[in-house]
């Protein structure tokens, strides 16, 4: 076994060991039944209960289907390997399924229907993790990690449903939220336009804030729109930015991390400011001296 493969196995073993330790030393996290008590429970039209929370999932469907088509129609996204193709296909399939699963859940919010909301989200999260490994670490390792990651995500949902313990699901959901932005900044990308990852992460963070402030936003807007409805719309912007990134990006000629680019830009700005501050404007007055002596 070569050194690089050994390091990869060590990394996976360390990650598994950390997960096991966390499961042993932390208490179970049961599903809070108050989670299903959303601020906006109005039936506005067509007899759809929780109308805005249901129909605000429609963008997921359209963005997901568009992404699937562009992945496979003449390879519009210019995906360079089978690992990339499968990973992005599963990502956009998960986004599409969120449109159905989350709508189904919000028609009748309870633990049983929540499974169909969370399952497609885990498919999207875990697919993105595999994509990052492909792009930032190693193509083959990322492709091989896709199936185990997706299966682990599905198992976290099953574990929660049968044992009423959200710890594995929390790991699946929140570890990518921390790891992906860090990897996007620190590890040199394979492609250009990698800053789109940060835009996507920013919209996802905003969506989580809106989810937490569901009732507060509903009151602030005088019961026009709730935080959870806005959460759906902001979360749908994540695949929008990633699809735009795929459409625009090309192979990076020089693999330089965003962190290194920021450092270079910061140094250039500091040097420019230093030069500007050290420049002294000198006004020179010239006098005309006649070389002809007065007679």
Using one digit for the tens of pLDDT, what is the confidence trace for 208-264? 999 999 999 999 999 999 999 999 999 999 999 999 999 999 988 877 877 887 788
**In angstroms, rounded to a whole number, what is the distance separating the alpha carbons of residues 61 and 47?**
21
CB atoms within 10 A of CB 245: 19
User: Is residue 9 very low, low, confident or very high in pLDDT (cuts 50, 70, 90)?
Assistant: low
pLDDT at 159 over 80: yes
The helix, strand and coil proportions of the chain, stated in percent and rounded to the nearest 5, come to: 70, 0, 25
The larger pLDDT score, comparing residue 263 to residue 104, is at 104
For the chain, domain boundaries: 28-277
pLDDT in tens, 46-59: 899 999 999 999 99
CATH 1.20.1070 fits 28-277, yes or no: yes
Question: According to the annotation, is 162 in a ligand binding site?
Answer: no
Q: Which residues, listed in sequence order, are joined to residue 191 by a DSSP beta bridge?
A: 251
pLDDT at 188: 87
147, HSE (Cβ side, Cα atoms, 13 Å): 2
Model-level pTM? 0.84
**pLDDT reading at 287 higher than 60:** no
């Amino acid at each position: 076994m070569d050194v690089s493969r050994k390091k990869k196995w060590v990394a996976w073993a360390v990650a598994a060991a950390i997960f096991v330790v966390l499961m042993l030393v932390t208490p179970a996290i049961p599903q809070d039944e108050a989670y299903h008590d959303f601020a906006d429970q109005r039936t506005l039209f067509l007899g759809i209960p929780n109308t805005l929370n249901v129909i605000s999932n429609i963008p997921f469907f359209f963005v997901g289907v568009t992404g699937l088509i562009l992945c496979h129609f003449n390879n519009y996204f210019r995906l360079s390997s089978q690992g990339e193709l499968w990973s992005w296909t599963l990502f956009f399939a998960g986004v599409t399924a969120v449109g159905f699963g989350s709508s189904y859940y919000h028609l009748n919010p309870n633990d049983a229907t929540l499974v169909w909301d969370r399952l497609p989200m885990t498919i999207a999260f875990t697919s993105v993790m595999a994509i990052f490994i492909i792009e930032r670490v190693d193509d083959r390792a990322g492709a091989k990690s896709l199936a185990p990651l997706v299966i682990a995500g599905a198992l976290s949902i099953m574990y929660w449903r049968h044992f009423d313990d959200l710890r594995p699901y929390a790991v699946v959901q929140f570890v990518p939220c921390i790891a992906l932005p860090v990897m996007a900044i620190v590890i040199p990308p394979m492609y250009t336009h990698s800053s789109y990852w940060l835009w996507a992460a920013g919209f996802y963070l905003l969506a989580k804030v809106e989810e937490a402030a569901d009732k507060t936003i509903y009151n602030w807007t005088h019961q026009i729109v709730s935080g959870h409805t806005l959460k759906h719309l902001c979360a749908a912007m994540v695949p929008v930015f990633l699809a735009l990134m795929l459409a625009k990006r090309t192979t990076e000629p020089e693999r330089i991390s965003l962190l290194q680019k920021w450092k270079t830009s910061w140094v250039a700005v500091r040097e420019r400011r230093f030069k500007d501050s050290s420049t002294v404007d000198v006004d020179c007055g010239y006098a005309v001296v006649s070389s002809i002596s007065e007679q």
